[in-house]
């Protein structure tokens, strides 16, 4: 979504044919690819000198390219890049926030430099600032020479509308940042329309900010609303009859069923990709709870039926679509009651890794912004996969258990066999599946885990083919909010 594919293609083609442009520093807030095209066009040695981004999980070539040192790789939280565009546009020195403390982005650990070329040559994008005896992360501004975005319609004056885009992302902020830095602003257009054809309130980027407009020669291939569809009105329109998808029973669904029972009626929730994205919505739907909570995605979408796979980030029949950075303002300020996230590795202290697995550079996306600011953080993962989930020490520090304790967050680890809680000493086993021996679970874990006495049993009905509808408890009179941003 939001990929200016015609421009990306042309940049790669120009480099391969003429050697120019070359040695680019390319910055992207989200991980926009379908494992084939999109940002994958820049995984070419010599074309990119440095990649500053948040996530390469859907980019096998780029992930391998960065892992092998093909370009300097700097990974920053998705929300910090999105909001940094606005700081650059406004002439501010950067972002001051607690997001990233204690993780690999912290300059006392890696500073976001996730491969050897970056550690050797990349400048410092982050620093620690001490204010009122508290540590803050300072994300430094940088100059933008060229800003690229796309629009559904562009009129003869260059005014741009995003009316058919499933998400608005960072179009305006990128255009303002590049323009105010004296740079070049390029817009890929799906359609060219007459002067005055776009109503003023529908103009997302004013023409005065745009230098060049390129109409996509093959819009059905180069300007798709998502990977799955060229255009479908359901991704930009509300529907009172929309239902979340129902799923056949599986261990993944059982995990989602257990996880949602930690919610309260009226909670605002973020769901991550993987098991949460596949199971939380269906679990809410079958329990009759779709209207009891508000599902959100970091791209700026509220409500609706979340799309999965490479279309993650949009929903069918959303109730609202707001700018990317505005969503992260809300998240970073403590607006989320809960988030459901996957986990690649979990270690003895409760730290979680999703950003580098088996030496593969994946990145964190919005994971750090979200898990450091939600009141409840619920990691959902299966113990039946090919990769060992519990390890003595995570390969990469994406979630800091120590920082979560400082933020007074509730942290849970939900699997199909057991549930764990984070406390001052690490993981505590608090629930186990019916009929399962505690020893069988503990034998899978290469470190000592405390056991709550008595250990509760996970609800039996989450393992049945269907569950009966139920209600959630009311929200506490005073919500416990993460200290981040409050």
C-alpha dist (Å) from residue 109 to 84, 135, 349, 373: 21, 14, 17, 20
User: What is the distance, to the nearest Å, from the Cα of residue 202 to the centroid of all Cα atoms in its chain?
Assistant: 27
Residues paired with residue 356 on neighbouring β-strands, in sequence order: 361
Do 379 and 342 touch, CB atoms closer than 8 A? yes
Which entry of 5, 40, 165, 298 is annotated as an active-site residue? 298
Do 348 and 427 touch, CB atoms closer than 8 A? yes
**Quick one: three-class SS letters along the chain?**
CCCCHHHHHHHHHHHHHHCCCCCEEEECCCCCCCCCCHHHHHCCECCEEEEEECECCCCHHHHHHHHCCCCEEEECCHHHHHHHHHHHHHCCCEEEECCCCCCCCCCCCCCCECCHHHHHHCCCCEEEEEECCEEEEEEECCCCCEEEEEEEEECCCCCEECCCCCCCCCHHHHHHHHHHCCCEEEEEEEEECCCCCCCHHHEEECHHHCCEEEECCCHHHHCCCCCCCCCCHHHCCCCCCCCCCCCCCCHHHHHHHHHHCCCCECCEEEECCCHHHHHHHHHHHHCCCCCCCEEEECCCEECCEECCHHHECEEECCCEECCHHHHHHHHHCCCCCEEEECCCEECCCCCEECCEECCEECECCCHHHHHCCCCEEEEECCCCCCCCCECCCCCCCCECHHHHHHCCCEEEEECCCEEEEEECCEEEEEEECCCCCHHHHHCCCCCCCEEEEEEEECCHHHHCCCCCCCCCCECCCCCCCCCCCC
Note the residue count of the chain: 486
Given the structure tokens 């950075």, which residue do they identify? 325
Q: Which residues have CB under 8 Å from 379's CB, separation 6+? A: 341, 342, 343, 346, 352, 411, 412, 413, 414
298 is an active site residue: yes
Sign of CA dihedral 131, 133, 136, 141: positive
Residues taking part in catalysis: 298
């Amino acid at each position: 979504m939001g990929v200016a594919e015609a421009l990306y293609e042309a940049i790669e083609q120009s480099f391969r044919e003429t050697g120019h442009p070359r040695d680019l520093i390319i910055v992207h807030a989200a991980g926009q690819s379908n494992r084939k095209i999109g940002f994958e066009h820049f995984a070419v040695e010599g074309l990119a000198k440095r990649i500053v981004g948040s996530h390469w999980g859907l980019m096998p070539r780029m992930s391998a390219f960065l892992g092998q040192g093909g370009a300097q790789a700097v990974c920053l939280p998705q929300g910090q890049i999105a909001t940094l565009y606005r700081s650059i546009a406004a002439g501010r020195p950067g972002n001051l926030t607690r997001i990233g403390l204690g993780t690999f982005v912290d300059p006392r650990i890696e500073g976001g430099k996730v491969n050897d070329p970056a550690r050797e040559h990349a400048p410092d994008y982050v620093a620690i600032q001490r204010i009122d005896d508290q540590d803050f992360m300072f994300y430094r501004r940088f100059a933008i020479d060229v800003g690229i975005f796309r629009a559904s319609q562009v009129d003869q004056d260059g005014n741009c509308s995003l009316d058919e885009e499933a998400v608005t992302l960072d179009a305006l902020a990128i255009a303002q940042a590049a323009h105010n830095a004296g740079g070049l602003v390029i817009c890929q257009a799906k359609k060219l329309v007459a002067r005055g054809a776009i109503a003023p309130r529908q103009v997302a980027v004013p023409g005065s900010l745009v230098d060049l407009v390129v109409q996509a020669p093959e819009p059905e291939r180069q300007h798709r609303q998502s990977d799955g569809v060229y255009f479908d009105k359901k991704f930009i329109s509300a529907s009172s009859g929309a239902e979340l998808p129902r799923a056949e029973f599986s261990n993944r669904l059982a995990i989602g069923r257990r996880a949602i029972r930690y919610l309260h009626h009226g909670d605002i929730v973020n769901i991550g990709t993987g098991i949460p994205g596949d199971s939380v919505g269906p679990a809410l739907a079958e329990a009759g709870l779709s209207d009891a909570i508000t599902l959100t995605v970091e791209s700026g979408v509220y409500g609706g039926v979340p799309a999965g796979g490479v279309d993650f980030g949009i929903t069918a029949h959303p109730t609202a679509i707001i700018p990317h950075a505005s969503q992260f303002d809300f998240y970073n300020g403590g607006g989320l009651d809960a988030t459901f996230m996957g986990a690649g590795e979990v270690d003895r202290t409760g730290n979680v890794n999703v950003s580098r697995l088996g030496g593969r550079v994946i990145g964190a996306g919005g994971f750090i912004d979200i898990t450091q600011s939600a009141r409840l953080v619920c990691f959902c993962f299966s113990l039946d996969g090919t990769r060992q989930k519990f390890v003595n020490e995570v390969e990469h520090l994406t979630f800091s258990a120590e920082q979560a304790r400082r933020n007074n967050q509730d942290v849970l680890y939900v699997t199909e066999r057991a549930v764990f809680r984070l406390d001052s000493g690490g993981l505590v086993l608090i629930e186990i599946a019916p009929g399962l021996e505690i020893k069988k679970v503990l034998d899978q874990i290469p470190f000592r885990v405390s056991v709550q006495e008595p250990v509760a049993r996970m609800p039996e009905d989450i393992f049945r083919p269907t569950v009966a509808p139920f209600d959630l408890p009311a929200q506490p009179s005073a919500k416990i909010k993460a200290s981040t941003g409050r």
